[in-house]
Amino acid sequence: MKKERESWGSRIGFVLAAAGSAIGLGNIWRFPYITGENGGGAFLLIYLFFTFAVGVSVMTSEFILGRSSKLSSVGAFKSKDRSWTFVGVLGVLTPFLIMGYYPVIGGWSLAYMVKSLTGLLKSPDMVDSFVGLISGTWEPLIWMLIYLAMNAVIIARGVNKGIEKASVVLMPTLFVLLIIIIIKGLTLPGSGAGLTFLLKPDFSQVRPSSFLAALGQAFFSLSLAMGVMTTYSSYLGEEESLPKNALIISTMDFSIALMAGLALFPALFAFGLEPTQGPGLVFMVVPRIFQEMGAVGPIFSFIFFAALMVAALTSSMSLLEVVVSYLMDERGMERRKATWLSATAMFVVCIMASLSQGPLADVTLFGLGTLDFLDTITDKIFLAVGGALISIFVGWKLDKDFLYNQFTNNGKSATGFFNIWYNLVKFVIPVLVAVVAISGILSIEQTGVMVTGLVVIAVLAIFSKKL
């Protein structure tokens, strides 16, 4: 007998959990360094465009899929059209692969939280301390394991008991801390150059690949094309306005990314560091800002990395939940078993990803270490292709009246926006995303990664029908 499906305890619970999924390492760890690598202000504008023109629309589409089917990613597609099941499967595979490295970075955050209190800020060179941590063997593995275990414990307890409660507490803290850091950063001498870098568009810095980077970042940061929003909205009540929720969540997500940029770049320029620092950016810059604060520095640093860790946790929980709810809905597995099974598999991949930063740096797949490989194949290929396919499916395969009723809750809200959204999803987004995706995918330097990604999608498309 099928148990009654769990549902969110409250509207705010859903918004916070979905925003919790969206706001994570993507905003604070990833957005600043990608922006740094793509030249600053102009990239920010492109990112803004992708978030609101493409992201909000695709998120609304995912909400429609999830809420109307009351099923997670695979089931949502399968129940509507079997030959599209593979898009749902892609929406389980991608989160799984992201969970093959996300906990590694979650572990770094956890490590920095603890180390803030044990003398991190005393070290003379933040670049050295960061590299020292991540290139180790056992230490990063242990932090990663603790971090991943926290995810599993929460998810094993179920949707509203675990996720909802965890989302409410530390997110506001993160917000306040970012403001403190922004103010501190802006008062440092020489910080003006950082503001200019972030806010003044210089289109000569934009490369064609920057568009794919911005699109991938927007999808990653909004947790799109990964089954998350489909799955979360499958627990959502009928009276909620889907486009309104999508807009609220996207605005929150964009604001936090922008704040992270404002927190990092002014300070970075004041300290004379390069914006092209790469994935270590937040770990190298933020502790230095706290160093400047004297005695209270370590405490602020502790709270900041605690908040970052929780932001990461609410995101990775959602990734784990997608895989777990797939195993429950489609494979009839019990929640606990599904959780521990998935977490164990993720742990194995994470070991490789963690070691790829140090001892196993030479072990590469098509020229990339495990962590970079997973990041590239998910961010540059699966997200873009998945996003395009979701909008094609919703725009071309679903009935317009059905969509209207879902979008407007049977004519009760947001009716004026329906046509704009419908045309965006049906005509503009598929073409736009396809152009960006194809040109971007062709520009991936590692041909092997490109071919692997496309072959995986093709194989899924052929075999998923039988699922």
The half-sphere exposure of 166 on its side-chain side, counting CA atoms within 13 A, is: 28
Question: Which range of residues in 113-121, 312-320, 409-417, 423-431 is near ligand PHE by CB under 6 A?
Answer: 312-320
Count CA atoms closer than 13 A to 403's CA, side-chain side. Answer: 22
Going by C-beta distance under 8 Å and a sequence separation of 6 or more, which residues neighbour residue 144? 103, 104, 106, 107, 350, 351, 354
Token pair recorded at residue 43: 């990239």
- Reduce the DSSP state of residue 99 to 3 states and report it: coil
Return the number of the residue (24 or 75) whose C-beta is nearest ligand PHE: 24
368 forms part of the interface with ligand PHE (CB under 6 A): no
**Contact (CB, 8 A) for 338 and 190:** no
Which of residues 50, 220, 235, 304 is near ligand PHE by CB under 6 A?
A: 220
- At closest approach, how far in Å is the CB of 409 from ligand PHE? 26
Does position 21 interact with ligand PHE (CB under 6 A)? The reply is: yes
Choice between 71 and 98, CB closer to ligand PHE:
98
Tell me which residue of 284, 436, 449 sits closest to 374, measured CA to CA: 449
- Residue 207 neighbours by CB under 8 Å, 6+ apart: 38
**Phi and psi, residue 368, nearest 5°:** -120, 145
Shorter beta-carbon distance to ligand PHE: residue 42 or 309? 309
Instruction: Name the residue nearer to ligand PHE (CB basis): 102 or 407.
Output: 102
d(CA 237, CA 239): 6
Question: Exactly one of 148, 178, 228, 259 binds ligand PHE (CB under 6 A); which one?
Answer: 228
Stretch of 24-32, 55-63, 108-116, 433-441 lying at the interface with ligand PHE (CB under 6 A): 24-32
- Cβ-contact 223, 191 below 8 angstroms: no
Q: Which amino acid is at 267?
A: A
Q: How far is the CB of 223 from ligand PHE (least distance, A)?
A: 4
- Tell me the window of 21-29, 232-240, 324-332, 335-343 that interacts with ligand PHE (CB under 6 A): 21-29
Q: For CA atoms 110, 111, 112, 115, give the dihedral sign.
A: positive
The least distance separating ligand PHE from the CB of residue 318, rounded to whole angstroms, comes to 5
* Closest residue by Cα to residue 424 from 448, 453, 403, 445: 403
Q: Which region, judged by CB under 6 A, interacts with ligand PHE, from 240-248, 315-323, 389-397, 450-458?
A: 315-323
Closest approach of ligand PHE to the CB of residue 388, in Å? 17
| Choice from 14, 20, 27, 291 touching ligand PHE (CB under 6 A) | 27
Tell me the HSE value of 297 on the side-chain side, using a 13 A CA sphere.
Answer: 18
Residue number with CB closer to ligand PHE (101 or 407): 101
Measure Cα distances from 374 to 24, 134, 158, 236, 343 in Å. 18, 17, 28, 31, 17
Considering the complex, state which of residue 317 and residue 398 has its C-beta at the smaller distance from ligand PHE: 317
Contact 324, 154 (CB under 8 A): no
Sorted by sequence, the CB contacts under 8 Å of residue 107 that are 6+ apart come out as 140, 142, 143, 144, 145, 146, 147, 148, 354
CB nearer ligand PHE, residue 55 or residue 287? 55
Token reading at 457: 């999608």
Is the Cβ of residue 257 or residue 398 nearer to ligand PHE in the bound state? 257
Is 221 a binder of ligand PHE (CB under 6 A)? yes
* Candidate residues 233, 318, 325, 376; the one interacting with ligand PHE per rule CB under 6 A: 318
The two structure tokens encoding residue 442: 């062709």
162 lines the binding site for ligand PHE (CB under 6 A): no
Residues in 68-127 at the binding interface with ligand PHE, rule: CB under 6 A: 95, 98
CB of 191 to ligand PHE, least distance (A): 26
Q: Smallest distance from the beta carbon of 272 to ligand PHE, in angstroms?
A: 29
What b/e sequence results for 205-216 when a residue is b if at least 16 CB atoms lie within 10 Å of its CB, and e otherwise?
A: ebeebbbbbbbb
User: Which lies closer to ligand PHE via its Cβ, residue 98 or residue 398?
Assistant: 98
Q: Which stretch binds ligand PHE (CB under 6 A): 18-26, 281-289, 296-304, 389-397?
A: 18-26
Are the C-beta atoms of 439 and 212 separated by less than 8 Å?
yes
Question: What is the C-alpha separation between 79 and 75, in angstroms, rounded?
Answer: 6
Give min distance, CB of 98 to ligand PHE, in A: 6
22 binds ligand PHE (CB under 6 A): yes
Least distance to ligand PHE, CB of residue 225, Å: 8
- Residue from 13, 26, 75, 453 touching ligand PHE (CB under 6 A): that is 26
Interface with ligand PHE (CB under 6 A), residue from 57, 223, 230, 277? 223
Enumerate residues 6+ apart whose C-beta is below 8 A from 444. Answer: 376, 380, 381, 450
Q: Which is nearer to ligand PHE, 63 or 220 (CB)?
A: 220
Q: How far apart are CA 82 and CA 76, in angstroms?
A: 10
Closest contact distance (angstroms) between CB of 354 and ligand PHE is 18
Binding site for ligand PHE (CB under 6 A): 21-22, 24-27, 95, 98, 220-221, 223, 226, 228, 315, 318-319
